[in-house]
Amino acid sequence: MTTVGFIGLGNMGGPMAANLVAAGHDVLGFDLSQTAVATAREAGVRITGSVTELAGAARVVITMLPTGRHVQDVVLGDDGVLKHAVDGTVVIDSSTIDIQSARAVHAAVTERGLPVVDAPVSGGVAKARAGTLTFMVGGTQEAVGLARPYLNVMGGNIIHAGAAGAGQAAKICNNMLFGATMTAVAEAFVLGERLGLDARSLFDIVSTSSGDSWALHNFCPWPGLVEGSAADNGYQANFAATLMSKDLRLALSAADEVGVTLPVSSSANKVFAQLASVDGHLDASAVIRQIRGRD
Ligand code: NAD
């Protein structure tokens, strides 16, 4: 049993921390939201009053926060993890953040002599609950080896993507692909509708043909075709449009930094930015509404 500190007990962090508790670890948690704290407490997480207190007691610290700024504040800030962590503490950031922030965290934590990995996830809340997330991990072999036993509790696939920031780079590429295919799937249904096709027939054809995709099966934007889809539930979010928009922005900004032009993903980014500005709380598959409204 290890004392694991978990900072950011939201939609993803809450169930991830709960799985660490279920695996027998002593989990200390911290979050600014009282709702998140109350849910985590029910799952057996011991809530601490500050990052300082948590960092002083934990041997592994995991962060699951909204953005790079939050992670830098919590890990590198005045009352942050780094100042108060005991020697040997393993630092794992599982948030989806920009590569520069991830590298800044790696540099400072490594300088302090602690092992660190960026380990963003794919799989959403359902896989966070089931403990079957995919972790894309950046860092040294040694740091990845130290983090792996804890990632194994929360995930089904743990893939070492490369050096510092490589986990975030892989996550950005993956979600950029998801954003682009999600947009294209919605476009296919809107075009099919205008051409007089029956949506069920279109789904049956595409799902067994060269247009098939993960987005079609898991985020089908047309209601009544995939059981349990957000489209059947008023587009209540499984993966919110705001998160998709954030991930596309991160990808486009990373592409800018390395001088790559991405025409398809740039278009998807614009569509999702518009959707996020009006209906960001809805599921990413609600992008079909945005496509319909563009004529
Ligand atoms: P969330 O908003 O539900 O949770 C984030 C939590 O961080 C909140 O409870 C918030 O109160 C807390 N927080 C913010 N600032 C804090 C601080 N300074 N100290 C302590 N707690 C703080 O978000 P989420 O859906 O759990 O996502 C977390 C991360 O995981 C994001 O980076 C997101 O992009 C990524 N992600 C989300 C999903 C998903 O399906 N939700 C999937 C993959 C990756």
pLDDT tens digit at each of 295 positions of the chain: 999 999 999 999 999 999 999 999 999 999 999 999 999 999 999 999 999 999 999 999 999 999 999 999 999 999 999 999 999 999 999 999 999 999 999 999 999 999 999 999 999 899 999 999 999 999 999 999 999 999 999 999 999 999 999 999 999 999 999 999 999 999 999 999 999 999 999 999 999 999 999 999 999 999 999 999 999 999 999 899 999 999 999 999 999 999 999 999 999 999 999 999 999 999 999 999 999 985 4
Return d(Cα 148, Cα 287) in angstroms, integer.
36
Please write down the long-range contacts of 261-265, taking CB distance under 8 Å and 24 or more positions apart.
Answer: 262/176, 264/180, 265/176, 265/179, 265/180
Q: Which residues fall within 8 angstroms of residue 204, CB to CB, at 6 or more apart?
A: none
Contact, 182 vs 215, CB < 8 A?
Answer: yes
- pLDDT for position 249: 98
Whole-number Cα distances in Å, 249 to 175, 176, 191, 208, 253 = 10, 9, 26, 32, 6
Contact, 123 vs 133, CB < 8 A?
Answer: yes
Annotated catalytic residue: which of 83, 171, 246, 270? Answer: 171
Q: What ligand 1 atom has the least distance to the C-alpha of 247?
A: 34
- pLDDT for position 5: 98
Q: Which residues fall within 8 angstroms of residue 165, CB to CB, at 6 or more apart?
A: 99, 102, 103, 106, 118, 138
Return d(Cα 222, Cα 43) in angstroms, integer.
36
Q: Which domains does the chain have, with CATH numbers?
A: 3-162 (3.40.50.720), 169-292 (1.10.1040.10)
Q: What ligand 1 atom has the least distance to the C-alpha of 74?
A: 18
35 ligand 1 Cβ < 6 A: no
Tell me if the pTM is above 0.75: yes
Return d(Cα 295, Cα 100) in angstroms, integer.
38
Q: Which of 32, 52, 74 gets mutated to test ligand 1 (max ligand atoms within 8 A of its CB)?
A: 32
Instruction: Phi first, then psi: give them for residue 193, nearest 5 degrees.
Output: -60, -45
Return d(Cα 151, Cα 169) in angstroms, integer.
18
Q: Which residues of 96-169 form beta strands (DSSP E)?
A: 116-118, 121-122, 133-138, 155-162
Q: Measuring from atom 8 of ligand 1, which residue has the nearest CA?
A: 10
- Using N-to-C axis directions, what is the helix angle for 13-22 and 141-154, rounded to 10°? 90
- pLDDT for position 295: 45
Segment (H or E) for 46: strand 46-47
Contact, 179 vs 247, CB < 8 A?
Answer: yes
171 ligand 1 Cβ < 6 A: no
Cα 295 to middle of ligand 1, angstroms: 35
Query: Is 171 annotated in the active site?
Result: yes
Q: Coil, helix or strand for 143?
A: helix
Q: Are strands 60-63 and 3-7 parallel, antiparallel or unpaired?
A: parallel
Segment (H or E) for 238: none
Q: Measuring from atom 39 of ligand 1, which residue has the nearest CA?
A: 124
Q: Measuring from atom 42 of ligand 1, which residue has the nearest CA?
A: 124
